[in-house]
């Protein structure tokens, strides 16, 4: 049975054939229940959201109007029990929005996004409800609560205050109007980016256009042409997983430039899908909202609830790394220019952004005898997935068992049951959606379909997913991925393990529900296990011979580990700095393209590199509030991750059992029940230092003083 057949048949305005909307039914079945993806039709989403929001508002009103004095149990815990139906509907709605987008789905998103924002404000602006939360928060009896209950009370109270619960009626009304406008703008922004990704492709019209590409990449391009029903030797789709390999290996410079412009101009092409005007409006509204809430700028509002605490602290860390990264880029460019000259390039030849990956790969091969094409022959997607499972078994005592009795939303999606290796106890379900397709947003991400909890003594297990955009192998051939893609695979799996390891009572504090500049730490740290010999010798197997990757090749990978770090660090930091500076600009009316251009010039951005995410396509920042003024979080978290991995190397190595148990106990299992700074100190015995990160990237330390990010508290709920 095709689980998406109902999606294909659904049409706007048609009558749902079932007597009740299946989206509103409790998740049933084994494993604690699961989403009934096989029963979903697009036209069910709007009525399901409306019904679930109405149900949740009734629950909220019951709590707010309770005649009994406010207590933790009848207010804070009651809020935890409310909204289950809505959470389940929103989970499936989010999956369809991000992975099965269609014109019908996008129309529903445009209508419902502002309404859902208004609904959220109805709860956080409910005066009677907030008074009850505030009463519990300020009660001397709070000291009698468990530490987790005290933490939950703080998180709930803080979230309401940050959402405007203390504002007067006029300010609340304006705040809600802003939130509704922003929700509509976020939806439009993400749909514009998706349109450019879906509609734009680079057609490789002749065999010569495939020059420089490996056999595997040629097959991928041919497969993409077939999928798109384009008669040509190959097609490069407008996603990172397709464009970056082309930029790395294609010897057709003019086509590299076309592919580069196609990818980096998403959202910046003028016309109906241009995002520049939306960015201006989003920034203005965010600035106004921050002032309403009593903050100097949106950046100050967002960072008040993080480990960094202030934009200045985040900027200090970024600036500390920026200078050595840019200096390294100059060295990398000089090496590439010399190689191009040696190969006979014209005297006036200059490395352009569409040349960087191509010549960097040539330098890598010349300097380290390391050809990424050779490495890729050993990186089969399925084997890398098995390698992740093995690491999860060693570090977290998990085992993954494939299941077929769970419906999926697309035939490419596979499901595994996660169990404890020793006891066989059910831990959760893991869904894997690895391949790119039209209607699926680009990139890689993790979702939690259901959070682990045990309120009232009832154990509720988690359901998580990992989602990628790999190019599917032709005719069942193994999907070969790059070293970078394999690293990203481990990164996202780290998020999943964070969710699967959760061992808390209350769902709001569960799994990855931590502050923004801490949430990337567990995922960043897991990347360190990919290059371990135990993984490579077992799972990096040649796709034709089945032989493990030779140790000599592994040694060359290790020797080249700091290669190109100037490029990788600078392209990331450029995005993070622009994000922060945009949101520190207050209520200035900003032209995004001009601001980006002028700010990068002031920073001394190398002309040969562009931001990893240019502003008009920066979905992290402009498709929601998620990473707004928060893209720096990846750097903050990697400082933690590099320092944390040092605990393993200082002990018995990456699979040291005692350190692994501490990692689970203090980091992966506690969710947001503990202040993250305290959690890290419990694991490491001290605050994090930046030394390990600088060593990993081959950057010099300024003097010998290793500045550490200022880790402060309290920290609240992830936004």
Show the CA angle centred on residue 439, arms to residues 263 and 527, nearest 5°: 65
Question: In this structure, are residues 642 and 682 in contact, taking their beta carbons and an 8 Å threshold?
Answer: no
Strands 462-470 and 426-435: what pairing? parallel
Distance CA 186, CA 625 (A): 8
Report helix, strand or coil for 325: helix
- Calculated CA dihedral for residues 265, 271, 274, 278, nearest 10 degrees: 160
Place of tokens 């019904």: 51
DSSP string, 241-310: HHHHHHHHH---HHHHHHHHHHHHTTT-SSGGG--HHHHHHHHHHHHHHHHHTT-SSHHHHHHTTSSS-S
Question: In this structure, are residues 463 and 428 in contact, taking their beta carbons and an 8 Å threshold?
Answer: yes
Query: Residue 66, class by beta-carbon neighbours within 10 Å (0-12 exposed, 13-18 middle, 19+ buried)?
Result: middle
CA-wise closest residue to 644 among 704, 715, 693, 705: 693
Report helix, strand or coil for 399: strand
H or E stretch covering 398: strand 398-403
Q: Which pair of structure tokens corresponds to residue 658?
A: 């005692």
Q: Which pair of structure tokens corresponds to residue 224?
A: 């993409």
Q: Report residue 464: phi and psi, to 5°.
A: -130, 165
Helices in 67-146 by DSSP H: which ranges?
Answer: 77-81, 84-99, 103-124, 127-138
Q: Which pair of structure tokens corresponds to residue 117?
A: 């924002």
Active-site residues, by number, are 492
CA-wise closest residue to 283 among 600, 579, 596, 613: 579
């Amino acid at each position: 049975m095709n689980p998406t057949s109902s999606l294909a048949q659904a049409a706007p305005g048609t009558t749902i054939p079932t007597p009740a909307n299946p989206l509103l039914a409790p998740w049933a079945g084994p494993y604690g229940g699961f989403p009934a993806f096989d029963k979903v039709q697009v036209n069910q989403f709007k009525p399901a959201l409306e019904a679930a929001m109405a149900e949740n508002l009734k629950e909220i009103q019951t709590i707010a109007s309770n005649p009994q004095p406010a207590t933790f149990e009848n207010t804070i815990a009651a809020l935890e029990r409310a909204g289950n139906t809505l959470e389940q509907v929103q989970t499936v709605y989010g999956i369809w929005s991000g992975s099965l987008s269609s014109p019908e789905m996008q129309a529903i998103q445009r209508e419902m996004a502002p309404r859902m924002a208004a609904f959220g404000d109805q709860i956080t602006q409910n005066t009677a409800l907030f008074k009850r939360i505030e009463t519990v928060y300020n009660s001397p009896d709070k000291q009698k609560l468990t530490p987790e209950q005290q933490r939950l009370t703080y998180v709930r109270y803080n979230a309401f205050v940050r959402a405007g619960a203390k504002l007067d009626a006029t300010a609340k009304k304006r705040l809600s109007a802003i939130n509704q406008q922003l929700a509509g703008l976020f939806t439009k922004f993400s749909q514009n980016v998706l349109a450019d990704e879906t509609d734009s492709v680079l057609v490789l019209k002749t065999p010569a256009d495939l020059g420089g590409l490996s056999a595997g990449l040629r097959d991928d391009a041919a497969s993409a042409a077939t999928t798109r029903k384009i008669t040509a030797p190959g097609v490069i789709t407008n996603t990172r997983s397709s464009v970056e390999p082309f930029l790395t290996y294609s010897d057709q410079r003019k086509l590299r430039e076309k592919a580069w412009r196609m990818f980096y101009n998403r959202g910046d092409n003028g016309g109906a899908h241009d995002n520049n005007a939306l960015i201006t409006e989003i920034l203005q509204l965010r600035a106004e909202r921050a002032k309403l809430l009593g903050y100097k700028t949106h950046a100050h509002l967002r960072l008040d609830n993080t480990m960094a605490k202030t934009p200045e602290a985040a900027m200090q860390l970024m600036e500390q790394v920026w200078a050595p990264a840019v200096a390294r880029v100059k060295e990398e460019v000089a090496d590439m220019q010399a190689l191009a000259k040696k190969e006979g390039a014209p005297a006036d030849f200059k490395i352009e952004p569409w040349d960087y990956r191509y010549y960097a790969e040539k330098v890598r091969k010349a300097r380290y005898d390391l050809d990424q094409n050779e490495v890729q022959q050993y990186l089969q997607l399925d084997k890398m997935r098995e390698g992740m499972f093995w690491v999860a078994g060693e570090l977290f005592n998990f085992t993954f068992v494939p299941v077929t009795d769970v419906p999926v939303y697309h035939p490419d999606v596979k499901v595994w049951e996660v169990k404890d290796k020793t006891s066989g106890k059910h831990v959760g379900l893991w869904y894997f959606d690895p391949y790119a397709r039209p209607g699926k947003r680009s990139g890689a991400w993790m979702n939690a379909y259901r959070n682990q909890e045990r309120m009232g003594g009832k154990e509720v297990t988690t359901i998580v997913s990992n989602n990628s955009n790999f190019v599917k192998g032709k005719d069942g051939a193994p999907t070969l991925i790059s070293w970078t893609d394999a690293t990203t695979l481990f990164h996202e799996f780290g998020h999943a393990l964070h969710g699967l390891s959760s061992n808390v009572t209350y769902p709001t504090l569960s799994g990855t529900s931590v502050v923004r500049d801490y949430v990337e730490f567990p995922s960043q740290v897991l990347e360190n296990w990919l290059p371990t010999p135990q993984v490579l010798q077992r799972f990096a197997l040649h796709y034709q011979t089945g032989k493990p990757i030779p140790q000599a090749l592994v040694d060359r990978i290790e020797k080249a580990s700091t290669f190109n770090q100037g490029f990788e660090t600078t392209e990331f930091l450029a995005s993070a700095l622009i994000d922060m500076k945009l949101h520190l600009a207050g209520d200035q009316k900003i032209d995004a393209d001009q601001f980006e251009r002028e700010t990068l010039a002031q920073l001394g951005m190398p002309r040969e590199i562009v931001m990893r995410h240019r502003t008009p396509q920066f979905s992290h920042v402009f498709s929601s509030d998620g990473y707004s003024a928060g893209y720096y979080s990846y750097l903050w978290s990697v400082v933690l991750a590099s320092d944390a991995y040092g605990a393993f190397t200082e002990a018995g190595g990456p699979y040291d059992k005692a350190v692994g148990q501490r990692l689970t106990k203090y980091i992966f299992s506690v969710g947001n029940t503990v202040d993250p700074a305290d959690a890290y100190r419990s694991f490491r015995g001290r605050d994090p230092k930046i030394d390990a990160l600088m060593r990993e990237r081959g950057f010099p330390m300024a003097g010998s003083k290793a500045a550490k990010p200022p880790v402060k508290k309290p920290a609240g709920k992830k936004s």
